[in-house]
Amino acid sequence: MIKKCLFPAAGYGTRFLPATKATPKEMLPVLTKPLIQYGVEEAIEAGINTMAIVTGRGKRAIEDHFDISYELEHQIKGTSKEPYLTEIRSVINSCTFSYTRQIEMKGLGHAILAGETLIGNEPFAVVLADDLCDAKKGVLSQMTELYKKYQCSIVAIEEVPKSETNKYGVIAGNEIEPGIFMIKDMVEKPEPKDAPSNLAIIGRYILTPDIFDIIRTTKPGKGGEIQITDALLTQAKKGMVLAFKFDGTRFDCGSIDGFVEATNHFYNKSKKNESKK
Ligand code: UTP
């Protein structure tokens, strides 16, 4: 039912400078795979086959990654190195990619609105590739299933230490099923004393397309940016938005600590898998 996934990938990634000066943050690898490929694979697992990517200046490596490299194909075809290309070939063959640019980086809400031209008038998923998730059943698969039941916008949440609420959008709501909250309030990056809970929004969303009109009329909020949190609160007040405590682990690969944790986690996992073989 959800056929398209939007990847806002236009941010500057300043926390990873100088690495992100000429390389998109989304292309930083955890082991051998760029962050955005993990996100695309999670979307494919959820039955989505149309990837819509919002890029910006200096992000062309993303387009090249999801395309054939004839030179490389020619060089390694039939050699012992060919298996290194298997995974990315399968990704490229199982979905389509379209791109648009966010001309000015005015925030996540603004980036999502820039994606309207690729999404049109249908519900869609959003993945922030710098939030890397590892779960038995992919987080987007869990969310698309929930969407089938409730047919409204859904944000993924997790509990964070109260001292860290100022890094996230934070929700308050009524728990209508175990781990599923009907949102009553949402605040972008509140100081711990002002946070309505310790339930933080992470980079996975299902959005209904009326969100575009709401973003269009959303004024710049925290940090002078157009915040998706503010638009979602308006949507929640008009109708219903759910917050979903997903099963799995999330790594904040937009921060150095999270990136190192993710690398160690996936390295240990790959070693375990190797020793099972
Ligand atoms: P972040 O604030 O984590 O990303 O935005 P950033 O701005 O790239 O990183 P720092 O803080 O400078 O290190 C969350 C997501 O929203 C996208 C980013 O690419 C990232 O995936 N984003 C943010 C946009 O696409 N456009 C924007 O204007 C802002």
How high is the pLDDT of residue 276? 81
- Counting atoms of ligand 1 from 1, which one is nearest the CA of 106? 28
Kindly state the average pLDDT of the residues 93-98.
96
**Which pair of structure tokens corresponds to residue 223?**
């940090």
CATH code (residue 37): 3.90.550.10
Tell me the residue range of the domain where 171 lies: 4-276
Query: What is the CA(185)–ligand 1 centre distance, in A?
Result: 23
How high is the pLDDT of residue 274? 85
How high is the pLDDT of residue 63? 97
- Counting atoms of ligand 1 from 1, which one is nearest the CA of 130? 21
Whether 109 contacts 216, CB under 8 Å:
no
Q: Which of 55, 62, 104, 128 for mutating ligand 1's site (highest number of atoms within 8 Å of CB)?
A: 128
Q: Where are the beta strands (DSSP E) in the chain?
A: 4-8, 29-30, 33-34, 50-55, 96-101, 124-127, 131-134, 153-159, 169-177, 180-188, 199-207, 241-245, 249-252
- Counting atoms of ligand 1 from 1, which one is nearest the CA of 12? 8
How high is the pLDDT of residue 206? 98
Task: Output phi, psi for 47, to 5 deg.
Answer: 85, 15
Whether 151 contacts 241, CB under 8 Å:
no
Whether 85 contacts 76, CB under 8 Å:
yes
**Long-range own/partner contacts, residues 249-252 (CB < 8 A, 24 or more apart):** 249/133, 249/134, 249/135, 250/131, 250/132, 250/133, 250/139, 250/158, 250/202, 251/131, 251/132, 251/133, 251/134, 252/130, 252/131, 252/167
**156-205 confidence digits (pLDDT tens):** 999 999 999 999 999 999 999 999 999 999 999 999 999 999 999 999 99
Write the residue with the smallest CA distance to atom 5 of ligand 1.
11
Q: Which of 5, 108, 227, 257 for mutating ligand 1's site (highest number of atoms within 8 Å of CB)?
A: 108
The amino acid at residue 133 is C
Whether 130 contacts 29, CB under 8 Å:
no
Query: What is the CA(41)–ligand 1 centre distance, in A?
Result: 20
The number of beta carbons lying within 10 Å of the beta carbon of residue 20 is: 18
User: Does residue 196 have a cis peptide bond before it, meaning omega lies within 30 degrees of 0?
Assistant: no
**35-89 confidence digits (pLDDT tens):** 999 999 999 999 999 999 999 998 999 999 999 988 998 999 899 999 999 999 9
Which of 114, 92, 94, 95 lies closest to 104 in space, CA to CA? 114
How high is the pLDDT of residue 34? 98
Rounded to the nearest 10°, the torsion over CA 73, 78, 84, 86 is: 80
**Average confidence score pLDDT of the chain:** 96
How high is the pLDDT of residue 158? 97
What sign results for the dihedral spanned by CA atoms 243, 177, 134, 190? positive
pLDDT over threshold 80, residue 277: no
As a whole number of angstroms, the distance between CA 148 and CA 152 comes to 9
| Predicted TM-score (pTM) of this structure | 0.96
- Counting atoms of ligand 1 from 1, which one is nearest the CA of 128? 21
What sign results for the dihedral spanned by CA atoms 223, 194, 204, 216? negative
In the chain, the number of structural domains is 1
CA geometry: angle 79, 32, 126, nearest 5 deg: 125
